[in-house]
């Protein structure tokens, strides 16, 4: 199971770096907006860049939120059930999450491809570079959900969310 641990570690690291970089870009763009308003210098492109940075931050962070249990969860019901029922429900939830994300991946890619024909108004970016955030979000959620299912089926994990300090 060392391969799964490496995949988890690399994917987690990539998602954290992507989230951090997106957040840093968002902070700089907002700071430039504030400075622009104080100085009277209008930087139109900063509002657009802020939006795109937020999209990338969510795309990279969604898988991490799934892994840590920070996505919407109904543990109150699940964890109070007797016996093996909580484990089964966590497995079913991970399977359904992975299945839905996998189903949506080709549709998201079609959405990305439509962006090749569009450009953003202020930055002039091809919109497929922005639309790829939807696809990335699904990729990260798929990877973490599939790894949770595999970990549960092999007995390497119990399916409970992994808090950041517990990561490998």
Evaluate whether 8 touches 148 at the Cβ level (below 8 Å): no
Contacts 24+ apart (CB under 8 A), 127-136: 130/52, 130/55, 132/59, 133/52, 133/55, 133/56, 133/58, 133/59, 134/59, 134/108, 135/105, 135/108, 135/109, 135/111, 136/18, 136/56, 136/59, 136/60
For residue 158, the model assigns a pLDDT of: 87
What's the confidence (pLDDT) of residue 81?
Answer: 86
- In tens, the pLDDT along 21-75 reads 999 999 999 999 999 999 988 899 999 999 999 999 999 999 999 988 887 776 7
Stated pTM of the model: 0.88
In terms of Cα–Cα distance, which of 126, 138, 131, 130 is closest to 110?
A: 131
pLDDT tens readout for residues 134-150: 999 999 999 999 989 99
Q: How far is it, in rounded angstroms, from Cα 146 to Cα 105?
A: 14
Tell me what pLDDT residue 74 has: 64
> How far, in whole angstroms, is CA 59 from its chain's centroid?
4
For 81-133, the pLDDT digits (tens) are 898 998 999 999 999 999 999 999 999 999 999 999 999 999 999 999 999 99
pLDDT tens sequence across 48-58: 999 999 999 99
Answer for the pair 121, 49: CB distance below 8 angstroms, yes or no. no
Distance CA 31, CA 29 (A): 5
In this prediction, residue 6 has a pLDDT band, given cuts at 50, 70 and 90, of confident
Contacts of 37 (CB under 8 A, 6+ apart): none
Q: What DSSP element (H or E) covers 6?
A: helix 2-39
Q: Where are the domains of the chain?
A: 2-166
pLDDT bin (cut points 50, 70, 90) of residue 8 is: confident
pLDDT at 76: 73
pLDDT band at 77 (very low <50, low <70, confident <90, very high): confident
CA distance 146 to 31: 38
pLDDT value, residue 157: 85
């Amino acid at each position: 199971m060392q391969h799964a641990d490496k995949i988890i570690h690399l994917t987690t690291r990539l998602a954290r770096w992507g989230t951090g970089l997106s957040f840093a870009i968002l902070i700089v763009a907002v700071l430039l907006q504030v400075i622009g308003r104080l100085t009277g210098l209008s930087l139109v492109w900063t509002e657009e860049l802020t939006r795109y940075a937020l999209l990338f931050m969510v795309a990279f962070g969604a898988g991490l939120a799934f892994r840590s249990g920070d996505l919407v969860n109904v543990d109150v019901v699940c964890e109070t059930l007797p016996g093996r029922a909580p484990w089964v429900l966590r497995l079913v939830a991970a399977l359904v999450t992975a299945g839905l994300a996998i189903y949506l991946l080709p549709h998201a890619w079609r959405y990305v491809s439509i962006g090749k024909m569009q450009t953003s108004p202020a930055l002039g970016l091809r919109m497929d570079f922005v639309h790829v955030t939807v696809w990335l979000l699904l990729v990260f959620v798929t990877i973490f959900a599939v790894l949770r299912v595999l970990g549960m089926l092999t007995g390497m994990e119990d399916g409970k969310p992994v808090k950041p300090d517990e990561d490998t």
